[in-house]
């Protein structure tokens, strides 16, 4: 059944030619400094809503990670931009931004179970240098109780780190929305 008021475009008709199921196998690095994980699964693509939208789903697993991975994606023609979304013509429009920092002490208290590391080790990007080798969770290595990894932010001044203060890491994110108009 087609979406009310939506028409199939030649671009979605071209994309629909990729419909089918495809085996996926390979390796992925989930975060800087993490070891590669073997992944496997199946990608399935199909045309839905009378060919107006293309639906992709992924079902699979990653070595050493409990449970299964499931992902969904939808593509549709954007008549306002006369294109399918891609890196240069995004379907999503940035609508909000978040900037902040986290102290290295707080980050070392956040466990990322799937990586067996603290957020501090992950943010360092170099577990062999800054990780303490602990188990089940590797934490940031310390010398005389002070975390060895030097952050890019100073929590005391709320400014970029300098030679005297480097106890935090700056974090930022952009949030996007689809199916709404941001004026």
pTM over the 0.85 mark:
no
Of the candidates 105, 123, 131, the one whose C-alpha atom is nearest the C-alpha of residue 172 is 123
The structure tokens 């993490």 sit at 34
- Checking if the pLDDT of 150 tops 90, the result is yes
For residue range 73-105, what is the model confidence (pLDDT) as tens digits? Answer: 777 777 777 777 655 566 655 667 778 899 999
- Checking if the pLDDT of 12 tops 90, the result is no
State the SS3 of 61-72: EECCCCCCEEEE
Peptide bond into 149 cis (omega under 30): no
For residue range 42-61, what is the model confidence (pLDDT) as tens digits? Answer: 999 898 877 777 888 888 88
Domain ranges, ordered by start, for the chain: 10-85, 96-175
The structure tokens 């419909």 sit at 19
Backbone φ and ψ of 105, nearest 5°: -65, -45
Give the whole-number percent of the chain exceeding pLDDT 90.
42
By CB atoms closer than 10 A (0-12, 13-18, 19+), residue 97 is: exposed
Of the candidates 42, 9, 10, 12, the one whose C-alpha atom is nearest the C-alpha of residue 25 is 42
């Amino acid at each position: 059944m087609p979406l009310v008021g939506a028409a199939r475009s030649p671009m979605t008709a071209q994309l629909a030619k990729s419909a089918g199921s495809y085996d996926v196998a390979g390796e992925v690095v989930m975060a800087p400094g993490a070891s590669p994980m073997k992944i496997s699964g199946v990608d399935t693509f199909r045309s839905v809503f009378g060919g107006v939208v293309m639906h992709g789903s992924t079902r699979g697993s990653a070595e050493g990670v409990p449970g299964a991975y499931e992902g969904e994606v939808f593509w549709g023609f954007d008549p306002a931009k006369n294109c399918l979304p891609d890196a240069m013509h995004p379907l999503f429009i940035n609508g909000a931004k978040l900037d902040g920092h986290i102290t290295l002490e707080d980050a070392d208290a956040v466990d990322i179970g799937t990586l067996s590391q603290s957020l501090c080790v992950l943010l360092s990007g170099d577990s062999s240098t800054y990780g303490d080798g602990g188990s089940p969770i590797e934490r940031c290595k310390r010398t005389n109780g002070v975390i060895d990894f030097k952050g890019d932010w100073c929590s005391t001044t709320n400014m970029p780190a300098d030679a005297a203060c480097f106890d935090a890491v700056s974090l930022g994110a952009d949030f996007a929305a689809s199916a709404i108009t941001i004026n």
